[in-house]
Amino acid sequence: MKKYIPLVPLLIALAPALAPAQELKVALIAGKTGILEPYAKETEAGFMLGLEYLTKGKMEINGRKLKVIVKDDQSKPDLGRTMLAEAYGDDKVDIAVGTSSSGSAIAMLPIAAEYKKVLIVEPAVSDAITGSKWNKYIFRTARNSMQDGLAAAATFKQGSVAFLAQDYAFGKDAVKAAREALQLTGSKANIVHEEYAPQNATDFTASAQRIFDKLKDKPQPRVLQIIWAGPNPMNKIADMKPERYGITLAPGGNILPVLKTWKAFAGTEGTIYYYYNFPKNPMNDWFVAEHMKRYKTPPDMFTAGGFTAASAVVTALSKAGGGDTRKLIAAMEGMEFDTPKGRMLFRKEDHQALQPMYHFRIKKDQKNEWDLLELVREIPAAELPVPIKNKR
């Protein structure tokens, strides 16, 4: 007599083995509306391209499907906090990335600690994020203000420097970092003035004249460094003819639509986080070619930042074997990961990504609408001694 095993209990017993692996969830928070909208759109595009490249188009990690939940914080700190809490609490994401505004990013940091979940900061740059406001759940792929400052300081050897920056967290933090960077690099340049204007300012007449008055009689070279997020005031400052006082402009890096407006300043030098034609590696080659194919433009600064954050996410989730926070932190401290700029490393002490920067010159002979900058030199991470300030 044959013995039959009931089918229903057998299927129940096999169910765990037959069930598909639980998907991995990632939140991307960006200021998709508001003054930093162009940055946010670039970040999202780069993030999705990065995930596609790194997962070979499968959008899965270790056999688990990857789901991306995109949220708009409008670059508002209170909304940033809410969006991140929703991502961790309601959406149950394993890891989050964000955001465009330094003010909003700083507001989000305690939420990561409250929910005990990892937050990768991209592209906000305020030093406080990996400094005084840091907690162990925070990692940053974006460069910080000090890296910007150290890169610029490498080009200021002597003379007199003034700053024009926005009157909020990003601008003030950047100028503070620039001051410290000049000291750290041993530069003999002297800072003679700091000028802050509203974040959405359009008239720079009074600000520029105050800067000119402070600089015009100081030792040469006389440099005005412009640190600005969003529509850049360099053209308006240039219209006031700072060269009358022997003053040259030193712009920080900016997005391609802004760089296109600087053609009249051939020979002007500055420093930048990323320019599509500078890094030479297979990942960047694919990135540039694919972005040109899809968007008819080269990838930009924040597109590269989004791609970099995607690389950190994929590398971390792969190494940790999933979204367990303790395993993620253990995997990410000291973790190296490939990016369009080359290999980066999360410093164990403060989780800041160490990375190169670029010294550029605006081209005189521009062969096409995107042939804008020439590389003076890559400034390696080893030449950017970013202080550890998180008091871990």
134 C-beta neighbours (distance < 10 Å), count: 24
Q: Are 216 and 222 in contact (CB under 8 A)?
A: yes
> CB-based contacts of 352: which residues, under 8 Å, 6+ apart?
130, 140, 144, 346, 386
- What pLDDT, on the 0 to 100 scale, is given for residue 289? 98
- What pLDDT, on the 0 to 100 scale, is given for residue 367? 92
Residues 285-296 have pLDDT tens digits of: 999 999 999 999
- What pLDDT, on the 0 to 100 scale, is given for residue 199? 87
24-143+280-355 and 146-272+358-383 share one fold = yes
Instruction: Tell me the pTM.
Output: 0.88
Cα pseudo-dihedral 118, 95, 51, 60, rounded to 10: 130
- What pLDDT, on the 0 to 100 scale, is given for residue 174? 87
User: In a structure prediction context, what are the per-residue pLDDT tens digits for the chain, which is 392 residues long?
Assistant: 445 445 555 445 554 444 457 999 999 999 999 889 999 999 999 999 999 999 999 999 999 999 999 999 999 999 999 999 999 999 999 999 999 999 999 999 999 999 999 999 999 999 999 999 999 999 999 999 999 999 988 888 889 999 999 998 888 888 988 899 988 888 889 999 999 999 889 999 999 999 999 999 999 999 999 988 777 788 899 999 999 999 998 888 889 998 998 888 899 888 999 999 999 999 999 999 999 999 999 999 999 999 999 999 999 999 999 999 999 999 999 999 999 999 999 999 999 999 999 999 999 999 999 999 999 999 999 999 999 999 87
Query: Strand, helix or coil at 178?
Result: helix
- What pLDDT, on the 0 to 100 scale, is given for residue 351? 98
- Picking from 73, 139, 75, the residue whose alpha carbon sits closest to that of residue 344 is 139
Domains of the chain by residue range: 24-143+280-355, 146-272+358-383
For residues 323 and 94, what is the distance between their CA atoms, to the nearest angstrom? Answer: 5
Q: Are 313 and 120 in contact (CB under 8 A)?
A: yes
Beta bridge partners of 64: 61
For residues 171 and 76, what is the distance between their CA atoms, to the nearest angstrom? Answer: 16
DSSP letter at 352 equals B
- What pLDDT, on the 0 to 100 scale, is given for residue 1? 47
353 C-beta neighbours (distance < 10 Å), count: 28
Which residue in the block uniquely carries the two structure tokens 């688990």? Answer: 64
**Which CATH fold topology does 146-272+358-383 show?**
Rossmann fold (3.40.50)
> CB-based contacts of 225: which residues, under 8 Å, 6+ apart?
152, 161, 162, 163, 164, 178, 250, 251, 252
For the chain, the first-to-last Cα distance in angstroms comes to 72
Superfamily of the domain at 24-143+280-355: Response regulator (3.40.50.2300)
DSSP letter at 251 equals E
Beta bridge partners of 269: 361
- Residue 114, sorted as left (phi over 0), alpha (psi -120 to 50) or beta, turns out to be alpha
**Could you give the residue ranges of the DSSP H alpha helices within the chain?**
7-18, 37-54, 77-89, 102-115, 145-153, 169-184, 205-215, 234-238, 256-259, 282-295, 301-320, 325-332
Tokens of 324: 């367990």
- Picking from 331, 353, 362, the residue whose alpha carbon sits closest to that of residue 146 is 353
- What pLDDT, on the 0 to 100 scale, is given for residue 141? 98
